[in-house]
């Protein structure tokens, strides 16, 4: 409907522009490229898992100012770019990365198998919306039902004592939607972190794409995954 509303406005605007152009030859009219609906939508979208997690965790890293930060599998054109705008970030991914940019150092690696020399490597690690894929083969990684567990254990080894771990995954009723991703029950994640990490802050993005920052990890929320079927659980943690 919005597209139809835009059609007569497109032609009236075109006629007005041509009249204003008159005999001026600085620009000619090329192939038409009509876009009818943009005038009826908002200027942008401040919602969604990636938008909120990327911005929130980049802000937290800026505040905490680690000495050496590495990222495992997060979105290059979102979170990694945010962090690279103010500091150096080392990127680990099972897939190759041919292009680079300032403050980005890339290393191809499978974090289900700890690369040599990585124990106690840094004081800060992030992995946002990535570990749910480990071991499902979607990105050419080896099939491993326990791939997410191995990744968490290796991240614990990579971090120095007291180091920070910034982490997010889909949350809801626990399941594998092969071969796209896993979805995690929040109580399962809390148990998985026990003895390895202290949870400093928990936030989440609900199914509607809205952020709830610094939410309480209470019994009511854990019971129904904060009302989410496919939300995003976001954790800032410290290595024990």
pLDDT higher than threshold 70 for residue 1: no
Note whether 233 and 185 are within 8 A (CB): no
Rounded to whole angstroms, the Cα distance separating 100 from 94 reads 16
- Counting every residue, how long is the chain? 240
Rounded to whole angstroms, the Cα distance separating 192 from 179 reads 22
pLDDT band at 25 (very low <50, low <70, confident <90, very high): very high
Closest Cα partner for 188 from 155, 235, 129, 238? 235
Note whether 225 and 183 are within 8 A (CB): no
Return the residue matching tokens 């567990």. 149
The DSSP bridge partners found for residue 199 are 237
23: left (phi over 0), alpha (psi -120 to 50) or beta: alpha
Kindly list the structural domains of the chain, giving each domain's residue range(s) and its CATH number in brackets, ordered by start. 2-40 (no CATH), 49-239 (3.40.50.150)
What does the pLDDT look like over 66-125, one tens digit per residue?
A: 999 999 999 999 999 999 999 999 999 999 998 889 999 999 999 999 989 999 999 999
What does the pLDDT look like over 223-235, one tens digit per residue?
A: 999 999 999 999 9
């Amino acid at each position: 409907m919005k597209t139809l509303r835009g059609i007569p406005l497109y032609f009236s605007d075109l006629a007005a522009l041509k009249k204003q152009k008159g005999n001026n030859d600085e620009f000619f009219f090329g192939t038409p490229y009509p876009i009818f609906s943009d005038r009826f939508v908002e200027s942008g979208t401040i919602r969604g898992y990636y938008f909120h997690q990327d911005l929130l965790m980049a802000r937290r890293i800026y505040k905490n100012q680690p000495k050496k930060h590495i990222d495992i599998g997060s979105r290059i054109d979102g979170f990694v770019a945010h962090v690279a705008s103010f500091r150096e970030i080392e990127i680990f991914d099972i897939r190759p990365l041919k292009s680079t940019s300032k403050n980005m150092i890339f290393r191809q690696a499978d974090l289900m198998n700890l690369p040599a020399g990585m124990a106690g490597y840094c004081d800060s690690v992030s992995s946002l919306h990535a570990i749910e894929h480990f071991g499902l083969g979607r990105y050419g990684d080896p099939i491993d039902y326990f791939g997410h567990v191995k990744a968490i254990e290796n991240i614990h080894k990579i971090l120095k004592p007291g180091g920070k771990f910034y982490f997010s995954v889909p949350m809801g009723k626990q399941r594998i939607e092969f071969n796209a991703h896993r979805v995690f029950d929040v109580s399962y994640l809390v148990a998985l972190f026990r003895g390895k990490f202290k949870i400093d802050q928990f936030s989440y993005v609900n199914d509607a794409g809205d952020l709830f920052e610094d939410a309480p990890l209470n019994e009511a929320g854990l019971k129904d995954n904060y009302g989410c079927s496919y939300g995003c659980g976001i954790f800032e943690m410290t290595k024990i």
